[in-house]
Amino acid sequence: MILSIGYGNHLTHDALAAAIDTYSVDVLMDVRSFPSSRRAQFRQAALEARFGGAYHWAGDTLGGRDVIADGAIAALAELSATTTVLLMCAEADPARCHRETEIARRLRPLGIEVKHLLPLP
């Protein structure tokens, strides 16, 4: 199963943790090209500290700044067969984010739907 969430200006660290627990997420996959943020709790080091081995930065292969290779989409599809993955990016609106416009759009023909979780205000 693949889920997605964007933290924008609304999602808190605790709400992200709650989503991870609610959906039994195995991998929090950070798909930002650069794993940094003005919000300290969403910087790579803070996410690694809070979520440990569940956190994985994949912005080098699934980030929105570069072309995403077919192999990266195929690897994500394969992972999702046995693992619940939560894609995370900064953009709160999935319609304006590569989580939808690139990743989810390219997973659909493979029979994989991405459920977008909207951040709570």
| Sequence-ordered list of residues with C-beta below 8 angstroms from that of 1, at least 6 positions apart, any chain | 23, 80, 84, 85, 115
Asked if residues 92 and 11 have their Cβ atoms less than 8 Å apart, the reply is: yes
Rounded CA-CA distance 69/14 in Å is 33
Confidence of residue 9 (pLDDT cuts 50, 70, 90): confident
Q: Where are the beta strands (DSSP E) in the chain?
A: 2-6, 27-30, 55-57, 85-89, 114-117
Query: Which pTM was predicted?
Result: 0.94
Angle between helices 44-51 and 13-22 (to 10 degrees): 40
Instruction: Domain ranges for the chain, please list them.
Output: 2-117
Residue 113 tokens read as: 């739907």
Top CATH class of 2-117 equals: alpha beta
* pLDDT digits 0-9 by tens, 63-83: 999 999 999 999 999 999 999
* pLDDT digits 0-9 by tens, 25-48: 999 999 999 999 999 999 999 999
